[in-house]
Amino acid sequence: MRGITRRALFAGSAVGAAGALLPTAGPAAAGPRTARANYRAGYHFTVPEQWKNDPQRPVWIDGSYHYYYLHNADYLAGEIGTAWRLATSTDLVSFTDRGIAVPKDTTPNGDVWSGSAVVDTHDTAGFGAGAVVVLATMSPHDGPADQAQYLYYSTDGGRTFTPHGTDPVLPNPGVRDFRDPKVIRDEERDRWVMTLAENDKVGFYHSADLKSWTYVSGFVKGGIGVLECPDLFRIRAGDGTVKWVLGVSANGKGAGLPNTYAYWTGSFDGSAFTADATDPLWLDHGWDWYGAVTFDKHRTDGTLDESGRYAIGWLNNWDYAHFTPTIDSDGFNGTDSIVREITLRRGDDGRYFLASRPVAALDRYVSRTVTLGDLEVEGTRLLDYRGTAYELSCEITWDQLTGAGVQLRRSPDGVRHIDAGVHRDYAYLNRRPTVSPDMTGRWQESHSPFDPARRSVRLRILVDRTSVELFVDDGRYVHSSAAFPYLVDTGLALFTVEGKAVFRNTVIREFRV
């Protein structure tokens, strides 16, 4: 996937729940806009300035994760095209900006799109043992049948990259949509494996040296839009079961499905992937977790932990990617989800699935804890707490009711808020009552399944200045959505629908990153 020019932005206004234009700062914050970072996330990764979109799979190099992402330094000028910018981290919560790693427009092929970086430990490509090699899509003439895969390499630990000539290492065979190479090492067979997004197919390729690639098979799935940013990895469940997982970013909204990260569990023989089921599962059910990548989980000594994996996604959606007040108030457009730990679990139906939780290192950044204990609620209960960036966790229990949840970023008059909870047979996140980037009004409330016979649910909710991430029942389902509440909307309330519930072990945590 690629970044594009600045098509349309908020100019001091945002679209509210009813579709009317509303001031981004709210009535109480009217006047000259002199403060900075009003909308910059408190504990999520944001681009330092201008634009970001796709995360590129982080790689472990010399004791730290190297996180590359698509960045356009010319966004406000309206100039098209992305480069790869680098940030490094040892704990995946605090990141240090390292500037541009793979520049754009330094070859006749133009800007650099999504791909992946690998550490060439065995010097298969000839750039030296330990060289960092990037395979990325470029499109010299900016046409859908012009997309091909190009190689860049680094001999300074992944800080700066040099193009390997100007010809593609994998030319386009004359097809529409041919992009986003994801490369992994197959040590058992002494070769590299690439997955490539090819419209409604994921293509599989082999290479001995990262420079010459041979097509070997394809996995086809229609009905969920153009497939992007493929992902392939091996993971071990707690019961010892090992599965291969094939993932893609996909737009399933037309079929009533998410527009995030679809995945299949199955088997991989080194050349072809066989899915356990035809229909995919989804790693996020919200509106804004796109271009996501998973990556290796390393122990503190650098060894690989195959029982888990990390993931990070772009907290945005191409339907309204440029409709954000952050660019006008703070000079940037680009926020990521919290890094998540991914584990493989077996469901009650026998099917294996991926569960998510916020990265454990976030616990080390807690600056304040508010313990509210057990709270009985019937109707709406306003809490004595105000905040714009925090985590709320609780377990809701009941005997009989229709629904229960929380109102986040609630306005002083109670009209505006973001709702998260359960209702009959689904869990949900609803941004309709606040300021939403979706001007159509169609993509406001996201759903995931919930058993109506149950009498309890666990919620963990990460609230930041422009996003909400809802983790249901220890991350069995997750909902991530962007939202832009008024700066004065800082309230918090609990509620039930047609019944009474107890919100047990209710805890609020704030973070300093």
Given the residues 54, 180, 284, 288, the one annotated as active site: 54
Supply the Cα-derived Rg of the chain in whole angstroms: 23
Closest CA to 449 of 479, 406, 419, 469: 479
Is 54 among the catalytic positions? yes
Q: Which two tokens stand for residue 452?
A: 């109506």
177 DSSP β-pair partners: none
CA 132 distance to own-chain centroid: 24
Cα(22)–Cα(19) distance, integer angstroms: 9
364 DSSP β-pair partners: none
What's the one-letter identity of residue 51? W
What's the one-letter identity of residue 462? L
Closest CA to 53 of 16, 30, 26, 82: 82
191 phi/psi in degrees, rounded to 5: -160, 170
Cα-Cα-Cα-Cα torsion 371, 366, 42, 343, nearest 10 degrees, comes to -100
* Residues ≥6 apart with Cβ < 8 Å to 349: none
Cα-Cα-Cα-Cα torsion 138, 130, 92, 365, nearest 10 degrees, comes to -150
Q: Which two tokens stand for residue 432?
A: 């309709």
DSSP 118-163: EEETT-SSSS-TTEEEEEEEE-TT--TT--EEEEEEESSSSSS-EE
162 DSSP β-pair partners: 153
- The H or E element that residue 236 is part of is strand 228-236
CB 448 within 8 A of CB 258: no
Q: Which residues are catalytic?
A: 54
